[in-house]
Amino acid sequence: AVKPSVKIVEVGPRDGLQNEKQPISVDTKVGLVERLVAAGVTHIEAASFVSPKWVPQMAGSAEVMARVPKVPGVHYSALVPNLQGLESALAAGCEEVAVFAAASETFSQRNINCSIRESLERFRSVVDTARAQGVRVRGYVSCVLGCPFEGAIDPEQVAGVAVALAEMGCGEISLGDTIGRGTPDGARRMLEATARRLGIERLAGHYHDTWGMAVANIAASLEMGVRTFDSSVSGLGGCPYAPGATGNVATEDAVYLLHGMGYDTGIDLGKLAEAGRYIGEALGRPTSSRVAKALAAS
Ligand code: HMG
Ligand code: MG
């Protein structure tokens, strides 16, 4: 029988590296992407065209995009907060971009310096301009299972922001547990509220692993019908504007779970772990992936 497949969106080069304090060279960023591609990863968020004053680490994004391997079937995307970012992404040849809104008013202010409503207005022209050029747009909603400043977030608030992004033309909607505090019950309630209005097919789970719940949240989301997950090799990262938040679920952990549950990801776990080792050595840091640690010890 053909295995059902799950799409992994590797966000390590962006969500992972954006949070690093030490400067990371373009060579290292490209080296990471090359190894991810060699492992069979087909969707990679490789860059972020945000203000370099806000996130200095992402400053070399145009150069990264110019140098990542162009391979049929491999898709790259980049984060853009406004029209200025979109112009840079288009100039860099991006075929997909992502806008990012929040389900929390305070987080929206801290992360992108405007209200949720203002951000949605801003994104409308970003999405229109991108789509007019044939560029796909993904929409993120942050703080879907809690906000570092406001605490609990109403699932209906998440659904409302997700619908607004979808209505303006975002295809895939990625639901971010930015601070990684959510548990499966909360994830189910949030997905139910959002899927009721958008359908489950276009939703992606973006779970940070700060509290160790990400793999459980993926399993719960799979049961609800979600088939796209964002993850970060070696468990890199966090958001610089979400105090205390650590990395996304490690791609190694997500892939091990998915393969164990009978899903196909197209990713070679051994080669993926090599990509994780590469970036760990470059950063001088042990992996956060439990699976990568277990593989290294076996
Ligand atoms: P602002 O200061 O209000 O913007 O920032 P502004 O329009 O007043 O511009 C200020 C300066 O920034 C100007 O330069 C602009 O040119 C420049 P100056 O005249 O002072 O020299 N600027 C830019 N430069 C390059 N590229 C741009 C750009 N835009 C303005 N695109 C802004 C507003 C949105 C720009 C800022 O707040 C920002 O860049 N925020 C991004 C923060 C960020 O990247 N956070 C992490 C990503 S989100 C995340 O990780 C969550 C996610 O993973 C999902 C989840 O986990 O929940 C996606
Ligand atoms: Mg994130």
Given a cut of 80, whether residue 147 has pLDDT beyond it is: yes
Atom nearest to 142 CA in ligand 1: 57
pLDDT digits (tens, 9 = 90+) for 79-128: 999 999 999 999 999 999 999 999 999 999 999 999 999 999 999 999 99
> What is residue 68's three-state secondary structure?
coil
Q: In this predicted model, what pLDDT tens digit does every residue of 31-54 receive, in sequence order?
A: 999 999 999 999 999 999 999 999
55 lines ligand 1 (CB under 6 A): yes
Q: Give residues with Cβ within 8 angstroms of 273, minimum separation 6.
A: 252, 289, 291, 292, 295, 296
Q: Three-state SS for 41?
A: coil
Q: Residue 237: its pLDDT value, please?
A: 87
Around Cβ 283, how many Cβ atoms within 10 Å?
A: 16
C-beta of 176 in contact with ligand 1 (< 6 A): yes
- Ligand 1 atom nearest to 248, measured from its CA: 56
114 counts as catalytic: no
231, β-bridge pairs: 10
- Ligand 1 within 6 A of 87 CB? no
Q: What is the model's pLDDT at position 2?
A: 86
Q: Find out whether the beta carbon of 147 lies less than 6 Å from any atom of ligand 1.
A: no
| CA of residue 5 to ligand 1 center, whole Å | 35
How remote is the CA of residue 55 from the centroid of ligand 1, in Å? Answer: 8
Ion ligand 2 — residues with CB under 5 Å? Answer: 15
Residue 44 token pair: 């990679």
Question: Does the C-beta of 112 come closer than 6 Å to ligand 1?
Answer: yes
Protein residue with its CA nearest to atom 56 in ligand 1: 178
- Quote ipTM for the complex: 0.98
Place 240 in a pLDDT band, splitting at 50, 70 and 90: confident
